[in-house]
Structure 1
Amino acid sequence: MIPEAISAAHYHRATSYRRNQLTPHTLDWVHQPKTAKDYAQLARVPLNRSEMLPATDYIELVKHGRIDNRRHSKPLDIGIISTLFRLTHDVTARSLNSDPPFFYRSVASAGALYPFELYLAVHHIDGLDAGVYHHNLFDYSLTRLRRGQIPEIPPVDRNVAATFCITGIFFRSAWKYRSRAYRYVLLDAGHLLENLRLALVAMDLAFSIHLDFDDLGIEALLGLDPQREGCLACVHLHDAHGPKKTTTAVGLLKPLTEDILRASTVSGKEVTYPDIIGVHRAGQKISTRFTEANPALNVLVNQPASWIDLGPQEFQGPADYVRLLRQRRSRRNFVPASGSRAGLVTFLGLMAGSMGAASKMPQASRSVLVTGLLLGAGLSAPPGFYLLDPDARQLGRVCGGRLTAPMAAACLDQMWLKHAALHVLFMTDLAALERTWGARGYRYAMIEAGRLGQQAYLAATAVGWGVCGIGAIYDREAAGLLDLSDDGALLYLVGAGPVKST
């Protein structure tokens, strides 16, 4: 039985970590979730892994990336789709020190649990029949789940050749993080979404990103078990040269088989956490009246007393994008070394290139976060707590002092984090999200924090720094350290800076 919907603000507070109040939890290794969905009874369409990936400078990709009025000169075909999947979610290395082997991926994930899945709804792609497909990461293929003309979800006024759908399987993360897992499922969906966005820009393709859609309709389209897996983002691939647009009603969809629905079950012993189902259900309601809203977020008690101009953009480069994807790792071996001014300005410039007015995300996503920085010693600005204004390219100093060590303590005493040159802080106002968009706003904020977190991973790698995302936080302790408002919340922290050479 699905529980009653709860508010997202209530969910966030109910799943907050409190010092000395964490309930002990032993991982059930015998029933560890599977890392891949199993559609053993269905045929697979192989993708081409031999084709060379495009040579793209990551610095230029972020600086000049545009999605408006883009038109790929070639017909959209299965070869282009193959390349997009490789750039979005790929295996980058394998470790044989575990049984089974551990596969490193191009996408960051909390606890390396990878709760996300990728689907492709095809309307007209050369070499692929119309229908719905699931992406198989490990054998690089597509499993056809549905054949024939399908509805366009969400409907738009442009021609749609195909739609990428990002879902999250709740228990993959809940196996370790229990009720708090929905936070990580959303963050990880944001990580994957940013890789997909960058891949589409690198391929010079026209696309649109959608966080609002008919949840129940898309669950039926993809064949998801709604108590175990939910769709979190859709990305339309547009093609002005495709056939005339046709529409199939969602209500005419034939239900998929029970075998397909059972693929959302990833463990022989799953636990259902009512808080996760409740907050996801609450977020299914879309407040269309306020989709384009720009709410005032009351996150900080104290506002910046002064602002520092970052100056002209200074980008170190070039940086091969494909190489960065393969080199991206979570690295914790930070060293208390001086970071160059060029490195700091390049990192912040790359982050700002995906935020604010430069963002290619839906309007709602551009106004759900406040981004802060804790600067440690050895950087070109004095240590302290700052806000980042991406449009004005300024840092607003909230307070001085070396706060990276107490923040490391607030991150479940992960004291290696105190040596990071800086902490990037993604914060929001939970009450403002609820007032403006209901629980759907929480999805916007967490997905956006994850998306920018993935950008931080790539930007840090580009300047030769280590980087690691942190979602495990004593929530109110961190809020007290930053002097956040009663409804202010730190959603995600990313530590970055020089690391020990290996």
Structure 2
Amino acid sequence: MPELRNSISHHYHERTKYDPDTITSKSQGLDWSKQPVPFKEYKIGSTIDLKPYIQETPEKFTDNPDTAWWRRLSRLLFCSYGLTARMPSMGSAVYLRSSPSAGGLYPAELYVISRGTPLLPAGLYNYQCRTHSLMRFWENDVWKSLQDACFWHSALENTQIAIVVTAVFYRSAWRYEDRAYRRIFLDAGHLLGNLELAASITDFRPHLIGGFVDEAVNEMLYIDSQQEGAIAVLALADMLDTKQNLPRGRTALPSATETQYPQLPDGELLAYFHRMTQIQSGTTGKLNLPEIQQEISIEDKYNFPFCQKISTLTTQIDWGEKLDKLEVTILKRRSTRAYSGEDLTLDELKSLLDFTYQPLHYIDQDLDISPDYFDLNLIQTFIATSGVEGLEAGCYYYAPKAQELRQIRFKNFRRELHYLCLGQDLGRDASAVIFHTADLQASIAQYGDRVYRYLHMDAGHLGQRINLAATRLNIGVSGIGGFFDDQVNEVLGIPQDEAVLYITTLGRPR
């Protein structure tokens, strides 16, 4: 009887794990002569300058509905992916954006598609973050093509604008090689988290669409699918127009599950894996995919017997009048480079978890109480605490439905966390380290190989909410995408079925 092969998602995940016995031999020096430029340029097209709408005082736009709309769109794009700092580096400059990116490589591009409005003519636009402008590079109406590519998703019926997030693969692969695929989608998740919250600030509602025919969207955007690929579509509803306030449709669709893959050399795995996670259209243009076998559970996944349980109920974070403090927080957020080792308080940790996982608590602040994720039921959260005042050191499972921490192991893991995070001092000196995980086998059973994208974008989305909550509370925060995968589960007691997707460290900044 032939041996059953794992899917390409399993294969990719195993192939790109960091292992203490092999990581040194695999590491190579970077070829700085081939460093990618994290910006896209167009030789033809017309430009719409968005800078005046964020540079002028808000009062200037109150009496003119047209300029008020432009101010809202300008702020949405700037808070989502705008340039917020310029840092000198090796005789040049590195531009930092409102959304964090591993290694400052910023693999994502933002495209705006207009159905055709009095203010934004029909066509394709690229968001040029260096100049904070929209480049209109195609003038024809492509909305029906977008609807067809997205299987006529209900969110595109009455909305007038959509945003497409793409990935330029080499920007991350230059540094992280095949493992870059993980980081690309974590970075995209950060961006989606920013878009979701920035939309609340500007009276928009992004409806996330993860199921679309990849090549159809790529062709519509005139991008080379060998170099760049669409990874998320968002229908942007204007909440000030009641006709656009639509109920949500299905966010995630499954792809096929590929088990007949060839032997792939290092350097070719990422591109092949991306092709295998795509949704293909049939000859009739209809969706021909497996059904989603999704189980909605009203209970949290893990309830360890005899474990200590700590309630995380708390008061909500104040985001200010008209969310003005949220906007400031988005724009000033930075990844912390070093921690002092001083303790956080349990109340601070509770506030972080409350904002990240309990959006319903923020209805009175006009935040979206049901933000779009691909499937948050697949993501689990574990927290290793080494310095939280009022909480015993150890590893905990966070149960979001019960709103409590459930202790798995009693131990201070500072030394082990230093090792697990590839010797990064951030792991050792952090007061708490959050791990996002998923059962890869069960996830693939529901969504096919495409779920690998969904899992990492959802983990990045959660990570970005943690980033912003920490920044608001003056807590240091930094994400880590490089770690010894298998050893994390062994050391901390996380169930072996849980694949580690992302790590976020928290502590007092040094």
Q: Say yes or no: TM over 0.5.
A: yes
- Equivalent-residue separation in structure 2 for 1:445 and 1:195 (angstroms): 17
| Equivalent residue for 2:91, pick from 86, 91, 99 | 99
- Aligned equivalent of 1:90: 82
> Aligned pair in 2 of structure 1 residues 300, 128: CA closer, same or farther (>3 Å)?
same
Larger mean CA deviation between 103-112 and 145-154 belongs to 145-154
Larger mean CA deviation between 229-238 and 344-353 belongs to 344-353
> Aligned pair in 2 of structure 1 residues 42, 99: CA closer, same or farther (>3 Å)?
farther
Structure 1 residue matching 2:506: 3-state secondary structure: strand
For the pair 1:350 / 2:352, whether they are aligned, the reply is: no
Larger mean CA deviation between 34-43 and 455-464 belongs to 34-43
Q: CA deviation at 1:492?
A: 0.4
| Equivalent residue for 1:373, pick from 360, 383, 386 | 383
Larger mean CA deviation between 201-210 and 471-480 belongs to 201-210
> Aligned pair in 2 of structure 1 residues 383, 170: CA closer, same or farther (>3 Å)?
same
Write the letter of the residue equivalent to 2:268. Answer: P
- Equivalent-residue separation in structure 2 for 1:42 and 1:190 (angstroms): 29
| Equivalent residue for 1:276, pick from 257, 267, 270 | 270
For the pair 1:182 / 2:174, whether they are aligned, the reply is: no
For the pair 1:360 / 2:348, whether they are aligned, the reply is: no
For the pair 1:464 / 2:474, whether they are aligned, the reply is: yes
- Aligned equivalent of 1:13: 14
8 Å Cα contact 2:477-2:504 kept in structure 1 = yes
Q: CA deviation at 1:468?
A: 0.6
Structure 2 residue matching 1:238: 3-state secondary structure: strand
Q: CA deviation at 1:6?
A: 5.8
8 Å Cα contact 1:42-1:143 kept in structure 2 = yes
8 Å Cα contact 1:78-1:126 kept in structure 2 = no
- Equivalent-residue separation in structure 2 for 1:183 and 1:190 (angstroms): 11
- Aligned equivalent of 1:307: 309
Structure 1 residue matching 2:334: 3-state secondary structure: coil
Q: CA deviation at 1:407?
A: 2.0
> Aligned pair in 2 of structure 1 residues 227, 411: CA closer, same or farther (>3 Å)?
same
8 Å Cα contact 1:297-1:428 kept in structure 2 = no
8 Å Cα contact 1:314-1:345 kept in structure 2 = no
Q: CA deviation at 1:312?
A: 3.5
Structure 2: 5+ residue stretches without partners: 1-5, 59-63, 245-264, 281-288, 362-367
| Equivalent residue for 2:117, pick from 120, 125, 136 | 125
Per-residue deviation, residues 277-306 of structure 1 (Å, max 9, x unmatched): 222112113856217554899998967723
Structure 1 residue matching 2:401: 3-state secondary structure: coil
- Equivalent-residue separation in structure 1 for 2:117 and 2:170 (angstroms): 33
- Aligned equivalent of 1:227: 226
Structure 2 residue matching 1:493: 3-state secondary structure: strand
- Equivalent-residue separation in structure 2 for 1:111 and 1:431 (angstroms): 30
For the pair 1:34 / 2:31, whether they are aligned, the reply is: no
Write the letter of the residue equivalent to 1:206. Answer: R
| Equivalent residue for 2:329, pick from 324, 327, 336 | 324
8 Å Cα contact 2:339-2:476 kept in structure 1 = yes
Q: CA deviation at 1:26?
A: 1.2
State how 1:194-213 maps to structure 2 within 5 Å: 194-213=193-212
Q: CA deviation at 1:404?
A: 3.5
How many aligned positions are there? 452
| Equivalent residue for 2:48, pick from 33, 45, 48 | 45
Write the letter of the residue equivalent to 1:166. Answer: V
> Aligned pair in 2 of structure 1 residues 11, 81: CA closer, same or farther (>3 Å)?
same
Write the letter of the residue equivalent to 2:83. Answer: V
Structure 1 residue matching 2:165: 3-state secondary structure: strand
Write the letter of the residue equivalent to 1:47. Answer: L
Q: CA deviation at 1:116?
A: 0.5
Q: CA deviation at 1:52?
A: 5.9
- Equivalent-residue separation in structure 2 for 1:81 and 1:429 (angstroms): 38
For the pair 1:448 / 2:449, whether they are aligned, the reply is: no
Per-residue deviation, residues 378-412 of structure 1 (Å, max 9, x unmatched): 42211111111223221111111112331221111
- Equivalent-residue separation in structure 1 for 2:15 and 2:171 (angstroms): 20
| Equivalent residue for 2:420, pick from 410, 413, 430 | 410
Larger mean CA deviation between 94-103 and 442-451 belongs to 94-103
- Equivalent-residue separation in structure 2 for 1:298 and 1:485 (angstroms): 14
> Aligned pair in 2 of structure 1 residues 293, 232: CA closer, same or farther (>3 Å)?
farther
Q: Identity over the aligned pairs, expressed in percent?
A: 27
Q: CA deviation at 1:309?
A: 1.2
8 Å Cα contact 1:77-1:125 kept in structure 2 = no
Q: CA deviation at 1:50?
A: 4.0
8 Å Cα contact 1:405-1:415 kept in structure 2 = no
> Aligned pair in 2 of structure 1 residues 80, 477: CA closer, same or farther (>3 Å)?
same
Q: CA deviation at 1:24?
A: 2.7
Structure 1 residue matching 2:343: 3-state secondary structure: coil
- Equivalent-residue separation in structure 1 for 2:123 and 2:198 (angstroms): 23
8 Å Cα contact 1:77-1:126 kept in structure 2 = no
8 Å Cα contact 1:354-1:452 kept in structure 2 = no
Structure 1 residue matching 2:198: 3-state secondary structure: helix
Pairwise CA RMSD:
3.0
Per-residue deviation, residues 241-282 of structure 1 (Å, max 9, x unmatched): 679xxxxxxxxxxxxxxxxxxxxxxxxxxx993211222112
Which structure has more relative contact order (CA 8 Å, sep 6+)? It is: 1
Structure 1 residue matching 2:389: 3-state secondary structure: coil
For the pair 1:149 / 2:145, whether they are aligned, the reply is: no
TM normalised by structure 1 equals 0.83
Q: CA deviation at 1:494?
A: 0.3
For the pair 1:479 / 2:489, whether they are aligned, the reply is: yes
8 Å Cα contact 2:338-2:425 kept in structure 1 = no
> Aligned pair in 2 of structure 1 residues 295, 146: CA closer, same or farther (>3 Å)?
farther
Write the letter of the residue equivalent to 1:215. Answer: D
- Equivalent-residue separation in structure 2 for 1:472 and 1:300 (angstroms): 26
TM normalised by structure 2 equals 0.81
Structure 1: 5+ residue stretches without partners: 56-72, 244-270
8 Å Cα contact 1:373-1:386 kept in structure 2 = yes
- Equivalent-residue separation in structure 2 for 1:434 and 1:43 (angstroms): 43
Write the letter of the residue equivalent to 2:327. Answer: V
